[in-house]
């Protein structure tokens, strides 16, 4: 189970809506299974079908999380026009171990859907989200 504060999840959904029609992305930090912080990232691919995080931003975020005593818990991104499930590309590029992947779908823009997954060696497992 992944615990995400309501305000952090709302901020991710707002980022996805404001970034529509492109995929937006970011990282969440925390401890154990509880998210404590959100770091919006730049999608350097500027695409509505995939994302790539800026390596300099990633490095700065990892340093900030370490300084805060946090670890990377979640890599998130949006799907502007498709369901909240990992695409084949998402699965292929899920190379960071021990993190959850949160996908926000704006397929129905009036009712965004957020789902989390663990992806390892091509295997996708749903992760329950507890909004706190």
**Cβ-based burial of 89 (10 A; exposed 0-12, middle 13-18, buried ≥19):** exposed
pLDDT tens digits along 48-62 = 888 999 999 999 999
Q: How far apart are CA 31 and CA 29, in angstroms?
A: 7
Confidence at residue 74, expressed as pLDDT on a 0 to 100 scale: 98
Predicted structure pTM score? 0.96
Mean pLDDT of the chain: 95
pLDDT tens digits along 39-97 = 999 999 989 888 999 999 999 999 999 999 999 999 999 999 999 999 999 999 998 88
Return the DSSP state at 82: S
């Amino acid at each position: 189970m992944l615990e995400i504060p309501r305000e952090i999840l709302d901020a991710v959904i707002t980022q996805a809506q404001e970034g529509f029609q492109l995929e937006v992305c970011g990282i969440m930090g925390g401890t154990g299974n509880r998210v404590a912080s959100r770091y919006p990232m730049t999608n350097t691919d500027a695409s509505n079908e995939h994302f790539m995080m800026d390596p300099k931003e990633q490095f700065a975020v990892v340093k900030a999380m370490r300084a805060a005593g946090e670890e990377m818990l979640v890599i998130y991104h949006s799907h502007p026009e498709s369901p909240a499930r990992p695409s084949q590309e998402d699965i292929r590029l899920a190379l960071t171990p021990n993190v959850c992947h949160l996908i926000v779908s704006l397929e129905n823009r009036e009712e965004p859907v957020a789902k989390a997954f663990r992806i390892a060696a091509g295997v996708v497992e749903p992760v329950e989200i507890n909004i706190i």
